[in-house]
Amino acid sequence: HGQCPSSPCALPRIPHDPSTPREPVRAHSQPVRLKRASVVPDSSRHWRVSAKKRTSTRTVAMPNLVHHVHGKKRVRVARTWREGDVHHFVEWMVQVSIESDMEHAYKTASNKGMTTTDTTKNQCYVVAKKMAHRCSPEEYVMTLGQQFLDCYPLISAVEVSLEEKPWTRTSVKGQPHDHGYSMQGPCTRTAQAVVRRGAAAQVTSGMLEFKVLKTTQSGYEGFFTDKHTSLKETKERILATSLNVQWTYGVGPVACYNKCYDQVTETLKELFFGPPKGGVYSPSVQYTLYQMGTAVVERVAEVQQVTMNAPNIHFIPMNVPGMPPFNDDIYVATSEPHGDITATVSKDQIFQAVSKL
């Protein structure tokens, strides 16, 4: 192909000297045969590319199994501890992920040494039975993880997590019932443990959908606006969210996980709502989350880091035609679309990701 004369890469045209005879253009009597390189696999599973007068070796990445886990999800375990006439009840949704020396099960037709997901499910009930005395969710997930390491030598690590249904002891005529429960708790409690051979268990506690709301003492103003901004500044609004919270523990032993859970819950409530009389003003969800997280790591000695996710539950002022104007009284309740705000507060200056397999 010719090049554009205006191209910087175009070669200058050289004028022909009339005194020099032109060489005639001759066609090849035989077609030009191009040598095709040969490509053959060598013993190292790399490809060797070779051609006459030229040999080069090129390494081509081969597909490889770089990570694998197996386990069981949504194992529903219920447990009753009978202490005389008073019974204590829990319901857990358990999930187990196993890391093991089972690469051959993926690469060959052999299942030798495989701990089946059915066995995994059954171990959840075996360990629940072994917990003869009332235990916290954290104690259960650590014990279950260790059970897999003790029973199956090919397993190197286990991640066990659970969600606890909010069953709470019911009261009749103002008295706690011996064996009656109702599901009216504020949220779902969570616990997780990653157990590895030769290492201490890494425990994470938390809660899901801890719904909190206050009808006043909240505002939002001073934010950036442009032609696409429809949100109006306000010093008076409903603040509501469905908190998802996770916290990790320091190096030392935890005497009572249940106590830590109660302390974290009470601290979150106190910093969100403020004093019973008058409350506390919140200039933004971000500011309030930081205050809550700071109080948790300062007041609960065992907690190392806390992460709070706060999806907004919106209550939009509603002006009904033909009725008096809005007076902080009538709202449209909606949760979609919603803002989503997350903050992590740590005793240290370093963010630590929650341990996972």
User: Residues comprising the binding site for 5-hydroxyisourate?
Assistant: 117-118, 237, 285-286, 312
198: Cα separation from own chain's centroid:
25
Q: Catalytic one among 117, 188, 265, 344? A: 117
Q: Residue 279 and residue 214: Cα distance in Å, rounded?
A: 9
Q: Residue 117 and residue 71: Cα distance in Å, rounded?
A: 5
Q: Residue 279 and residue 273: Cα distance in Å, rounded?
A: 6
Binding site: which residues? 117-118, 237, 285-286, 312
- What's the token pair of residue 14? 């050289």
**Is 117 a known active-site residue?**
yes
Strand partners, 48: 40, 57
Binding site for O2: which residues? 117, 312
- What's the token pair of residue 292? 């809550």
- What's the token pair of residue 207? 């809660």
CA angle (341, 346, 348) in 5-degree steps: 145
Q: Catalytic one among 72, 190, 267, 307? A: 72
Instruction: State how far the alpha carbon of 164 is from the alpha carbons of 167, 280, 287, in Å.
Output: 8, 31, 30
**Is 338 a known active-site residue?**
no
Binding site for urate: which residues? 117-118, 237, 285-286, 312
Determine contact, residues 77/94, Cβ cutoff 8 Å: yes
Pairing assessment for the beta strands 340-346 and 303-311 based on DSSP bridges:
antiparallel
- What's the token pair of residue 280? 């506390």
Q: Catalytic one among 87, 214, 314, 338? A: 314
Q: Residue 196 and residue 149: Cα distance in Å, rounded?
A: 8
Q: Where are the alpha helices (DSSP H) in 101-235?
A: 103-107, 117-130, 137-151
Helical packing angle, 117-130 and 137-151, nearest 10°: 130
CA angle (226, 227, 229) in 5-degree steps: 65
**Is 356 a known active-site residue?**
no
Using the Cα atoms of residue 180, residue 184, residue 188 and residue 191 in order, give the sign of their dihedral.
negative
Q: Which residues are known catalytic residues?
A: 72, 117, 314
